[in-house]
Chain A
Amino acid sequence: MSKRKSSGSAVVSESACYLELQKVLRQQIYKISAPCDVDGESDLDKPRRHLLDLIQRCSSMGESNSALIIGPRGAGKTMLLSSVLEDLKENRDFRDNVLEVHLNGLLQTDDRIALKEITRQLQLENVVGDRVFGSFADNLAFLLEALKKGSRDSQAVLFVLEEFDLFAHHKNQTLLYNLFDIAQSQQAPITVIGLTCRLDVIELLEKRVKSRFSHRQIHLFNSLTFDQYLEVFESLLTLPSEFSDKKFCAKWNKHVQNLSEDQGVTSILKKLYDTSKDIRTLKTFLMLPVARISPSHPRLEMADFVEAHKLLTADSKSNTLHGLSVLELCLVVAMRRLSDIFVNQPFNFQMVYNEYQKFVQTRSHAVQSFDRPVVLKAFEHLQQMELVRAAEGSGTGGRGQKEFRPMLLMIDKSQLMQAIQKYPACPTEAQARVQV
């Protein structure tokens, strides 16, 4: 890949080009609804149609319904729903007919807050400005009354419950019961749509709530094949045809196409795909190389991807180990030995200290022997970094002397090996000790 020759007069326009490129690509990567238009149209077609029908019928025929969209994180649940709503809102009839209420299980942590939010979003009569008046019981009675008064001729209400599984943890599941009950009785037409990532969400519902729910489940999976994944990769980096500098745009897109056929890049992408199939990971991964594009670094190079992958997959514990002092590392080595000898039994500081002493006296002449208080300090430091933690069930919160508290090491042997090999100026004795 040769560097782009920049002629002197074009420098200004070129930097503008890169500014625009950054803006466009960042938007493309961070926009939620981006990739669906390209990939898996056939996969999402059926759930999309089902959902579209369901909401459409609520607005046009006044039919009440309830449904759950279930899928792992990053499978495009919210994206699907919002794109369906966007499509429907182009129709004026729909906009006049439907009131939307959006709730999120993370924000509306109990029914009291959820009810206020519903009343506020519906702009019922007890709302003044943005404040809702009346007690919890009043609010519920008021809302139910309002919905009961409604008939087929009232406006349809669309309830969207994100993080649906958290609503199932509310007391008595009052809110869910009432929403589903209204959906199953002759009142104002409502549609309840829940979004969740838990596959067993139905089992969380109480029997009577479950009976009222109409068991429509729309499942979304990350079912991209690797070829589709590559297509998404390409489409995320491809500049749109609206780009101002056509020549630059064409050149860039050609480059991206080359990239997606490049053996090295695809092998990295394959590794990424093997760990996680969701697009969100891919987006996070792409952000780093894209951020580095500038006039002085005009192309995405193989090295950018390698580095991004390394950053994304780095083992956090090994990285932490790199920052330890020699004494701390020696202690970790000693603890590793203890856990090897006593097969994952908890140990205490005294045992570690003895082990360390043995190490210092017999093998190592280069490693300085430190006093006990210094070693204890180092041990406490390790504890603060949560590389060592109190063994479960010991339950000694503040009681007992700290030297004799049972502890466990949170580092696997493979991690320690890796870290030791990379540790700058690691004493050879410590190295030898791990390998034994």
Chain B
Amino acid sequence: VRADDMMPNIPKTPRQRKEPMGVLEQARARLHVSAVPESLPCRELEFGNIYSFVEGRLLDGTGGCMYISGVPGTGKTATVHEVLRCLQEEVDESNLPEFQFVEINGMKMTDPHQAHTQILKALTGQKATPEHAAEILDKRFNTPAPRRESTVLLVDELDLLWTRKQSVMYNLFDWPTRPQAKLIVLAIANTMDLPERMMMNRVSSRLGLTRMTFQPYTFRQLQEIVMSRMKGLQAFEDDAIQLAARKVAAVSGDARRALDICRRATELAELAKTPGRKTAALVNMTHVDTAVQEMFSSPKIMAIRNASLQEQLFLKAVVAEFRRSGLEEATFLQVFQQHECLCRLDGVTVPTMSQLSGVCSTLGASRLLLVEVGKSDLSQRVRLNVSQDDVMYALRDNN
């Protein structure tokens, strides 16, 4: 594999894949997160900023760093990719000098030091150990080469490149400051205060103050994103999209979530289609609502309702014990005594201790309870992982 004559490959299918047919299937194909549109709606300002930053550095032939932050699913990576695509078009029309684009992702390597290897591989195609690669890169960025083209380096998931000595981060932000390097680094991470929180002073000072934050999407923006993907396709009722957008914006403002909900809603609409008619109806509010319920609702109450009688009694006993002691933690023995009382009250056969510890560990396995390892036996501590009110609510309707 080290010699590059072997190309990794997943075999092709012997069969042609079906093209999406029908309105709902087309809608689903467009709503898939991977179907990134040509231009991202609602990120024009950020696009402009990054574009002008990179363009300026390219024209000047200098280097620089930019730190981009924002919660997941706000379009950071997609925007940067779009910027680079646009710049590439400009280069093709020879309005800009040529540049080389390298992308690394902190999550896609096994060790922070692998970053060096991957950058070197992308730049020259050489393979080397991380230490050796760092040396070669260092030499490359230090030696003046007047005809060298600029390099744009995108570092995704920057926080994972953290090491104790922070040598990887230091290198990444130090190289652009060299006069001959012509390196532009775009670093992406989730937290806004990462440079102050995690980096040493000498690293964060090299990162500089060119920063940009991607705000979570508002519901209007989410709505626009979905609408723009649905352009020219009548699959959704307008209110349905708005409901999805509002629900997601209230929780996280993650565009991936909104798209997933809409996609699931199209599936539900397809399932609900009356068999007689050829075309399915539009996706309406109820479908979106069901999809939202499926994705956001907590199954704990359903789990409690479907538990066996002894499991339910055990949960009740835990709550009863908490109420008695006023603490949020009880030992297994205390709960056992409460359980005994509850069983006698309900006229159920009292289970043996072994049986009950089985019940306890079942509940612990599905994380309705938080329990210690079974080794501590009677003095094993039990806590609830659901609120007491939820337990009582779930069990009230049963009887």
**B276 contacts partner chain A, Cβ-Cβ < 8 Å:** no
B11–A155 touching, CB < 8 Å: yes
CA of A208 to CA of B72 in the docked complex: distance in angstroms? 6
- B contact residues around A223 at 8 Å (CB): 306
Task: Count residues on chain A whose CB falls below 8 Å from chain B CBs.
Answer: 89
Binds A, one of B60-68, B91-99, B140-148, B295-303: B295-303
What total of A-B pairs shows CB separation below 8 Å?
219
Nearest-CB distance from B56 to chain A (Å)? 30
Q: Check: B327 CB closer than 8 A to any chain A CB.
A: no
The residue on B at minimum CB distance from A62 is B17
Question: Counting CB contacts under 8 A, is A130 at the interface?
Answer: no
A188-B10, A211-B254 as given contacts; A93 in contact with B15, CB under 8 Å: yes
Is B215 an interface position by the 8 A CB rule?
no
Taking a contact as CB atoms under 8 Å apart, the answer to whether B34 and A277 are in contact is no
User: A275–B308 contact, CB under 8 A?
Assistant: yes
User: Are B256 and A137 interface neighbours, CB within 8 A?
Assistant: no
Residues from 272 to 296 in A contacting B, C-beta threshold 8 Å: 273-277
Q: A62-B17, A216-B294, A410-B377 are in contact. Are A155 and B109 (CB under 8 A)?
A: no
With A61-B20, A277-B308 in contact, is A72–B366 under 8 Å at CB?
yes
- Of B34, B267, B368, which is within 8 A of A186 by CB? B34
Stretch at the interface among B41-49, B225-233, B281-289, B355-363: B355-363
Contact A150 B110 (CB under 8 A): no
User: A232 near B: Cβ within 8 Å?
Assistant: no
Asked if A174 and B1 make an inter-chain contact with CB atoms under 8 angstroms apart, the answer reads no
What residues of B have a CB within 8 angstroms of the CB of A141 in the complex?
A: 108-109, 118
Chain B residues near A157: list those with CB within 8 A. Answer: 10
Task: From A143, A198, A271, name the one whose CB has the most chain B CB atoms within 10 angstroms.
Answer: A271
Question: Measuring CB to CB, which residues of chain B are less than 8 angstroms from any residue of chain A?
Answer: 1-2, 6-15, 17-18, 20, 25, 28-29, 32-36, 71-73, 107-111, 114, 117-118, 157, 160, 190, 252, 254, 256-257, 260, 263-264, 267, 271, 294-296, 298-300, 302-303, 306-311, 333, 336, 340, 348-349, 351-355, 358-359, 362, 365-368, 376-379, 385
A: which residues have CB within 8 A of B?
Answer: 49, 53, 60-64, 70, 72-73, 93, 96-97, 99, 111-112, 122, 124-126, 133-134, 136-138, 140-147, 149-150, 152-157, 172, 174, 177-178, 181, 184-188, 197-200, 207-208, 210-212, 214-217, 219, 221-223, 271, 273-277, 313-318, 386, 389, 392, 408, 410-412, 414-415
- Besides A133-B1, A199-B298, A221-B306, 8 new A-B residue pairs in contact (Cβ under 8 A), listed by A number: A64-B32, A142-B1, A155-B10, A208-B72, A221-B303, A274-B310, A275-B309, A314-B352
In order of increasing CB-CB distance, the 3 nearest A-B pairs are A211-B72, A146-B8, A221-B306
